């Protein structure tokens, strides 16, 4: 009987100033991985322009353990890009990749369960954070608002608090590597892609060491980027607002004209001027909205996201099987 070759799994770990915590991370992760003997592991640390000794530590770890690789980015590009770099580095060399944070806020203890789901046939095994100990009220509120806007106004269905801690099957990875858009939200893209997906939930512990690298500011930018790359609503809002203003000012102007001519009521010239001006403003804004529609089309063309993704195909061979 032929023995199945062990499946290759690559862990992708974005690292920004985590030098202090990396050895603990490695220790904790290997503790879990050592028990999963039927897989062949690889860990890829992507140093996203750290200013501490993270890269030296990665080099040290890689010199001792052959299954560790490291990528050093030339500057800080942000976690989304760091993850992309890792995924593109692995590409089809592994059967699945798992993205995991270096600060142990993504518990490695969940790895066996993630793999079980993958083996059960899910091509994306994503995770949802149930609660987190060290998130400020602002971060919590901001994330609530973001997920609310995202689920209402984009064609994506991202469950609240979904995280980047997720497994992507080889098929998903190879498609993801073909994406060329520059402004990207990693988990948004993988959610957009479809595929067979399941969610596991976990409670995020406090950071092992260091401070959160994602300030409120950075998260705000990420949220704006995600909203604008998955929804054209911000563009359309101006148009709708313009239409509303135009309509109400138009009706008001009509009524004023009617009242002053037929009902003999008196309005100052100023009043007419103000309402007429508001009407013009409405025309202008709806014009902008119209332009926005065109920009929307340009936007969709420019990001060059694949039009569709084929999960599987059955090729017609032309040979009929005999009974």
Contacted entry of Mg ion, ligand UDP, none for residue 71, CB cut-off 5 to 8 Å set by kind: none
Strand-pair partners of 42: 10
Residue number, 98 or 232, with CB nearest to Mg ion: 98
- Both tokens of residue 210? 């260091």
How many degrees, rounded to 5, is the angle at CA 11 between CA 8 and CA 15? Answer: 155
Q: How far is the CB of 12 from Mg ion (least distance, A)?
A: 15
Residue 213 binds which entry of ligand UDP, Mg ion, none, CB below 5-8 Å type-dependent:
ligand UDP
Residue closer to ligand UDP, measured from CB, 107 or 212: 212
Task: Please name which of 23, 20, 3, 84 lies closest in space to residue 48, comparing C-alpha atoms.
Answer: 84
End-to-end Cα distance, the chain: 27
CB 155 within 8 A of CB 231: yes
> Whose Cβ is closer to ligand UDP: residue 105's or residue 127's?
105
CB closer to Mg ion out of 105 and 162: 105
Tell the smallest beta-carbon distance from residue 312 to ligand UDP (Å).
Answer: 33
Pick from Mg ion, ligand UDP, none: which does 19 bind, CB < 5 to 8 A by kind? none
The nearest distance, CB 2 to Mg ion, in angstroms, is: 43
Work out what residue 40 binds among ligand UDP, Mg ion, none; the CB cut-off runs from 5 to 8 Å by kind.
Answer: none
For residue 245, what are its two tokens?
Answer: 């203003």
Distance between CA 133 and CA 78 in Å, rounded? 23
Q: How far is the CB of 21 from ligand UDP (least distance, A)?
A: 9
Using Cβ positions, the residue closest to Mg ion within the complex turns out to be 105
Q: Rounded to the nearest whole angstrom, what is the least distance from the CB of residue 87 to ligand UDP in the complex?
A: 13
Q: Which is nearer to ligand UDP, 98 or 275 (CB)?
A: 98
Length of the chain in terms of residues written = 323
> What sign does the dihedral 194-195-196-200 (CA atoms) show?
negative
Backbone angles phi, psi at 177, to 5 degrees: -70, -15
Instruction: Look at residue 15 and give the partner it binds from Mg ion, ligand UDP, none, a contact being a CB closer than 5 to 8 Å depending on partner kind.
Output: ligand UDP
Q: How far is the CB of 122 from ligand UDP (least distance, A)?
A: 24
Nearer to Mg ion, 107 or 194 (CB): 107
Cα–Cα distance for residue pair 59/68, rounded to 1 Å = 9
Angle at 166 between CA 165 and CA 172, to 5 degrees: 145
DSSP state of 306: -
Residues interacting with ligand UDP, by CB under 6 A? 14-16, 18, 48, 76, 78-79, 82, 101-103, 105, 212-214
Q: How far apart (Å, rounded) are the C-alpha atoms in residues 110 and 29?
A: 10
Binding residues for Mg ion, per CB under 5 A? 103, 105
CA 220 – CA 222 distance, rounded (Å): 5
The CB-of-100 to Mg ion minimum distance in angstroms stands at 11
> 102 touches which of ligand UDP, Mg ion, none (CB within 5 to 8 A by kind)?
ligand UDP
Closer CB to ligand UDP, 134 or 181, in the complex = 134
């Amino acid at each position: 009987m032929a023995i199945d070759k062990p499946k290759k799994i690559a862990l992708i770990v974005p690292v920004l100033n985590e030098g202090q915590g990396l050895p603990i991370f490695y220790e904790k992760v290997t503790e879990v991985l050592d028990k999963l003997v039927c897989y062949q592991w690889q860990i890829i640390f992507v140093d996203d322009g750290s200013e501490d000794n993270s890269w030296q530590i990665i080099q040290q770890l890689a010199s001792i353990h052959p299954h560790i690789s490291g990528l050093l980015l030339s500057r800080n590009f942000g976690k989304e890009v760091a993850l992309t770099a890792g995924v593109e580095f692995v590409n089809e060399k592994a059967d699945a990749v798992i993205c995991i944070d270096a600060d142990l806020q993504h518990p490695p203890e969940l790895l066996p369960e993630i793999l079980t789901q993958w083996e059960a046939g899910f091509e994306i095994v994503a995770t949802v954070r149930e609660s987190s100990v060290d998130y400020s009220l602002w971060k919590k509120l901001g994330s609530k608002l973001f997920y609310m806007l995202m689920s209402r106004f984009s064609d994506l269905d991202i469950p609240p608090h979904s995280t980047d801690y997720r497994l992507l099957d080889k098929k998903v990875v190879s498609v993801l590597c073909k994406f060329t858009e520059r402004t990207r939200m990693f988990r948004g893209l993988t959610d957009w892609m479809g595929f067979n997906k399941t969610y596991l939930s976990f409670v995020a512990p406090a950071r092992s060491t260091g401070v959160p690298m994602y300030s409120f500011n950075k998260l705000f930018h990420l949220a704006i980027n995600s909203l604008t790359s998955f929804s054209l609503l911000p563009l359309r809002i101006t148009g709708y607002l313009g239409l509303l203003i135009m309509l109400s000012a138009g009706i008001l102007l009509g009524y004023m004209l009617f009242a002053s001519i037929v009902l003999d009521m008196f309005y100052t010239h100023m009043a007419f001027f103000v309402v007429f001006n508001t009407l013009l403003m409405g025309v202008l804004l709806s014009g902008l909205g119209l332009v926005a529609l065109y920009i929307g089309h340009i936007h969709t063309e420019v990001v060059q996201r694949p039009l569709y993704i084929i999960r599987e195909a059955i090729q017609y061979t032309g040979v009929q099987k005999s009974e």
